[in-house]
Structure 1
């Protein structure tokens, strides 16, 4: 399990503090698919306590687990089907890893139930029997172990009685020796098996490599890292203002924030809190929904945000709400300004994409062409864009056209991200089918089908080099980030991988090129931000934060990298000498 949002990998390696919540395991399957609000009253085996569990509560914990584990698309789909957005649960009050914690408590209850006598003593004086989660929900396994313990206890009692009888007729020394041999030989073997079983079980769960020891020569010192705190939940996204050192961040606490890191700001960084509210009963109240996407316009005067509450919003750089854009019928997954700055493009879980007039806040056109949630969008020019979806299709659409101008098909699983190259001639896409594909508007099939990753590819980025960039004399590259813990750099002209970057130990969620294309930043749930030389593939800088990294981004000058993390922190790395 990946380390996310406080669900640290240590929960897989050691027993946590546990109480009694066995019924969660029993009811989980029954609750799936039910309408929110259903109540289930349960009592303990002895009837001392009574608990009330709602399907809303269980569904919310499952939803949060999917989010924290990096299953973003599954979380959005599950959230829609289970009506998470309609629940009254305040997600900011629910601690990270809540589902794992409650399952551990239920598991401890089952272990105790097997291993402890009616009088509260432990069988054999031995530690509580350790179970796997699957063992705990299988009645046959539980009953078999209970019976085995009871038989073992009866056998020990009979052996002790036989030893006592033998002592009455044998020499005291011999009787003592015999009794010791009968009473202690087998328990010692059992203890050894339990310890080995615990070790083996721990090793089978801990299938990730140990955290990488960062080379002191490349490690970014703490004096060069500024950690910004204020968010109360995971920080999913961050983006630098294109003209100044303002860093925007979006979080699960239903806020976006603008951090001022300009050199002339007084006393270090300051923050503006952009609260995402909805109208209820004539009052603005917090939406309690995740901020899922954000993007600055080209001249850095306006920030657009998308939220799980289904609204897009436009904010001024000083934190004032300028417009609220509401036409999606579900969460917004992605949003982008066009280069001209007059339109905003959004992708929704309602299977549609919308072009908005940034000046009036009105929807110019809604495109209902996908058959499943739209996951990403990218502008080709000021009026034409591409969109991708869990339906495995890519549509190229144009403002004013009532059908796609092009549809690309070829992926065999969800298409996670799409990006046009700087010239707008080539479109790259990546998918859960572990492939990276390059498309041209001049062809029906992909011109490159790049297969090298061995797990899902989460995101891709083109380098700001080659034609139509400020670095025209440098070759264009494409970077891909995967759940296989690697980043790959691709020469698209030849269709080959030039470098495989392998220092990360967990899934890589974000990559970003420096403005000159000479460096690549990558962020992973191993809590590390790595900076790579794109020509040599060498690691040149590295920083380990305090939470899994969701997003990395460069400022316009290319001397600072921002990163957002699962523990609610945002860090800024100063790469100046």
Structure 2
């Protein structure tokens, strides 16, 4: 006999609706999966189910007073039988049977009490208010591999590997220029530069400080490179650095470029939160959205995502998400749930689910055809900086609070957590084969995780001891201090990682 938290949530939600507390019911609906239960079981559950179950529980507790453990009739309890038996009395009886759990070593120093162990050989560590379990077996596989750069390139703010040619890398920095580099590889981990092509935006004094490449993305077929600069201009280049087209509509810094899978259309967003859909062949702007309200200074978001061949999502006002369609002048709908700037989107095409992250410290999962989020993950103490699907169920995320976390949308819970040194994490990047996950920290250090080991640790951790403590597999440290990571990018074979820094050269690291 068992009952899940989701089933309890559903009964409470039904009770709130039946008693007319619609606002409270709506809040619970957004924080849980009650709509899914209602669709499956709603017609089979009668009105007043929660009250009925509570009354039966009270009756069962009262009946326990009449029968002893050996099935003999117990003496009449005059105190309880003289009163009308109610919920409070039932709870008092249970509390008398179960001794109160008193705090042990309540006044220990924080660093002494942060780690404890239980009789199952599992240590428990408190991280940001979350108790994390870790095996005490002394596993030798916790050795952290030191990663070294294969080569270095000039300083850049962003870099991207060609998705179809693993030996082609584009990076962009100052001087309004992006560079396409062709490598040759004699042996694994050994790269040499064969050719370089410079993709130059025109220098202009119209916009102060408008010479930096802020965004670049390869088309899915690897034939075209879109680059955006601080002035708002977007240009399209061939793989050998020839100019294909110029796109001029934005008036502020380009923050996002997202290609459609057809390699023809792409979406751009700027710091004024203007989103534009382009036809790369004709150079024309097909549609434009500007959801920002007049006078609003706060950024709505720094990401966008295609959620189908002709649909996409962009940040909206007050943490909302606008669902748009190519050819439609107005958004199809609005997804409400987040309350602050949106930081990351990732779409899972097989399940048609979207995960979003925000400065409100939460992640949310949205299902196709539903305007309410099916999951809301809380626990981070600072902004969430990245969120990606590991598979059809699990999500991996990073946060400014210095944690990497793994979540499950099916059971709506935190599965694993890693915090190495509490340094803020600025970005996270999942390799194309989804076998490696790299996080970039404020101090310039890279931590590498193998997803198969992450899932193995979670599988081997009893559910009662989740979230599991996730071990770090690799580490890379730059030679310079005071150097923040601005971007991470994997090559198509998931063996090389390029790292862009705020004040030093771009590093290319061989992961293997």
Q: What TM-score bracket applies, with the shorter chain setting the length?
A: 0.5 to 0.7
Match of 2:363 in 1: 436
Matches within 5 A, 1:213-232: 217-222=143-148, 225-231=149-155
Match of 1:499 in 2: 416
- The structure-2 alpha-carbon separation of the partners of 1:277 and 1:378, relative to structure 1 and needing over 3 Å to count, comes to same
Q: Which runs of at least 4 in structure 1 moved beyond 6 Å after TM superposition?
A: none
448-457 vs 556-565, greater mean Cα deviation: 556-565
Partners of 1:385 and 1:267 lie apart in 2 by 39
Indicate conservation of the 8 Å contact 2:486/2:501, yes or no: yes
Indicate conservation of the 8 Å contact 1:559/1:574, yes or no: yes
Partners of 1:325 and 1:243 lie apart in 2 by 25
Partners of 1:387 and 1:442 lie apart in 2 by 17
450-459 vs 494-503, greater mean Cα deviation: 494-503
> Is 1:258 the counterpart of 2:180 in the alignment?
yes
Question: Which residue, out of 373, 377, 380, partners 1:450?
Answer: 377
Q: Tell me, what secondary structure is at the counterpart of 2:373?
A: coil
* 1:278 shift after superposition: 4.7
Match of 2:501 in 1: 565
> Is 1:358 the counterpart of 2:358 in the alignment?
no
* 1:556 shift after superposition: 1.2
- The structure-2 alpha-carbon separation of the partners of 1:331 and 1:266, relative to structure 1 and needing over 3 Å to count, comes to closer
* 1:277 shift after superposition: 1.5
- The structure-2 alpha-carbon separation of the partners of 1:279 and 1:455, relative to structure 1 and needing over 3 Å to count, comes to closer
* Structure 1: gaps (5+ residues): 1-214, 467-475
User: 1:485-525: CA deviations, max 9, x gaps?
Assistant: 11112222222222212125422122122233222111111
Aligned length, in residue pairs: 344
User: 1:105-153: CA deviations, max 9, x gaps?
Assistant: xxxxxxxxxxxxxxxxxxxxxxxxxxxxxxxxxxxxxxxxxxxxxxxxx
- Greater relative contact order (Cα < 8 A, sep 6+): 2
Match of 2:487 in 1: 551
> Is 1:331 the counterpart of 2:267 in the alignment?
no
Partners of 1:286 and 1:330 lie apart in 2 by 11
- The structure-2 alpha-carbon separation of the partners of 1:389 and 1:334, relative to structure 1 and needing over 3 Å to count, comes to farther
Match of 1:533 in 2: 450
272-281 vs 326-335, greater mean Cα deviation: 272-281
Partners of 1:461 and 1:449 lie apart in 2 by 15
Match of 1:242 in 2: 163
Partners of 2:416 and 2:211 lie apart in 1 by 39
Match of 2:326 in 1: 399
User: 1:74-108: CA deviations, max 9, x gaps?
Assistant: xxxxxxxxxxxxxxxxxxxxxxxxxxxxxxxxxxx
Superposition RMSD in Å: 2.6
* 1:445 shift after superposition: 1.8
Indicate conservation of the 8 Å contact 1:276/1:286, yes or no: no
Q: Tell me, what secondary structure is at the counterpart of 1:412?
A: coil
Bigger fraction of residues in helix: 1
* Structure 2: gaps (5+ residues): 1-140, 458-469
Partners of 1:551 and 1:219 lie apart in 2 by 22
* 1:542 shift after superposition: 1.0
- The structure-2 alpha-carbon separation of the partners of 1:267 and 1:512, relative to structure 1 and needing over 3 Å to count, comes to closer
Partners of 2:314 and 2:178 lie apart in 1 by 25
* 1:274 shift after superposition: 2.3
- The structure-2 alpha-carbon separation of the partners of 1:260 and 1:299, relative to structure 1 and needing over 3 Å to count, comes to same
Partners of 1:295 and 1:504 lie apart in 2 by 32
* 1:280 shift after superposition: 7.7
Tell me the TM-score normalized by structure 2.
0.62
Matches within 5 A, 1:154-553: 217-222=143-148, 225-231=149-155, 235-244=156-165, 245-263=167-185, 267-268=192-193, 270-278=195-203, 288-371=210-293, 373=299, 375-389=302-316, 391-423=318-350, 425-463=352-390, 465-466=391-392, 476-534=393-451, 535=455, 536=457, 537-545=470-478, 546=480, 547-553=483-489
Partners of 1:271 and 1:421 lie apart in 2 by 35
Partners of 2:408 and 2:362 lie apart in 1 by 15
Q: Tell me, what secondary structure is at the counterpart of 2:363?
A: strand
Indicate conservation of the 8 Å contact 1:392/1:413, yes or no: yes
User: 1:325-348: CA deviations, max 9, x gaps?
Assistant: 111122221111100111010112
Partners of 2:216 and 2:320 lie apart in 1 by 24
Tell me the TM-score normalized by structure 1.
0.56
Partners of 2:422 and 2:175 lie apart in 1 by 28
Partners of 1:528 and 1:497 lie apart in 2 by 25
User: 1:182-207: CA deviations, max 9, x gaps?
Assistant: xxxxxxxxxxxxxxxxxxxxxxxxxx
Partners of 2:378 and 2:191 lie apart in 1 by 50
